[in-house]
Amino acid sequence: MIDPLSEAYGRFLASLALLGCAILMAMMFIIVGDVALRNIPFPGLPRGLAWSNEISELMLYLITMCVAPWLLRQGQHIRVDIVLQALPPQLAWSLEWVGDLIGFVCCLAIAWFGTQAAWSSYVSGAVNIKTLVTPEWWALAPLPLVFVLLGIEMIFRMIRLQRGPRGPRHDAVSAA
C-alpha cells in the first residue's frame, strides 16, 4: 500500500519541480524584458519594468519552495556525509535514522511556526510596501505548505531506509 502512495507522491513532487522550472523561465523573460526596455528605447513603452526586481526576488523564493521537496526525494540536497561513510555500516544506518528524525521534527516545527506567521500576517492585514503593495501573507503562505511536503518526504525516506541495506545512504555521496 505504501509503494503506490510513495510513487504518486514522487510524481506530485516532480510536477512541483516542473512548476519551479516554469517559474525560472518566466523570471528569465521578466529580467530580459526589463533589461531590453532599459537599454532600447521603444516609443510608448516604459524605460524598464520597475517591479521586475521585486517579482524576481519572489520568484527565486517560489522556485526554492517548489523544488526543495523534489531535491530531497532525489537525494540531491546538501549533505555532508564523510563521517557516515567512514563509520561501521550499522552505526551509520542508525545515525541516518537520527538525521531523518531530526529533519522530520524540524519540518514540523517550521511548518507550525510558518503557519502561525502567515495566519498572523493575514489577520493583521500586514502588507509589503515596495514598488508593489501586496499582502505579506502571500509570501509567507508557501513556507508551511512546503515544509509539510518536506516532512512527508522525510517519512518516506525513513521507510526507504528501513527497507534498505543496513548502512549509510549512497544516494548523494560526495566522496567515493
- Nearest-5° Cα angle at 103, 87 to 88: 10
- If the chain, 176 residues long, is cut into consecutive pieces of 10 residues, what is the mean pLDDT of each piece? 90 97 97 94 88 94 96 83 85 91 97 97 95 94 97 94 84 55
Predicted pLDDT of residue 172 = 59
User: What are the percentages of helix, strand and coil residues in the chain, rounded to 5?
Assistant: 75, 5, 25
pLDDT at position 78 is 75
Q: Structural domain boundaries of the chain? A: 2-163
Check residue 176 and give its pLDDT: 47
Whole-number Å distance between alpha carbons of 176 and 172:
10
Enumerate residues 6+ apart whose C-beta is below 8 A from 161.
Answer: 93, 96, 97, 100, 169
| pLDDT one-digit tens code per residue, 77-107 | 777 778 888 889 899 899 989 999 999 999 9
pLDDT at position 173 is 53
Which residues, at least 6 apart from 11, have a Cβ–Cβ distance to it below 8 Å?
none
- Please count the other Cβ atoms lying within 10 Å of the Cβ belonging to residue 162: 10
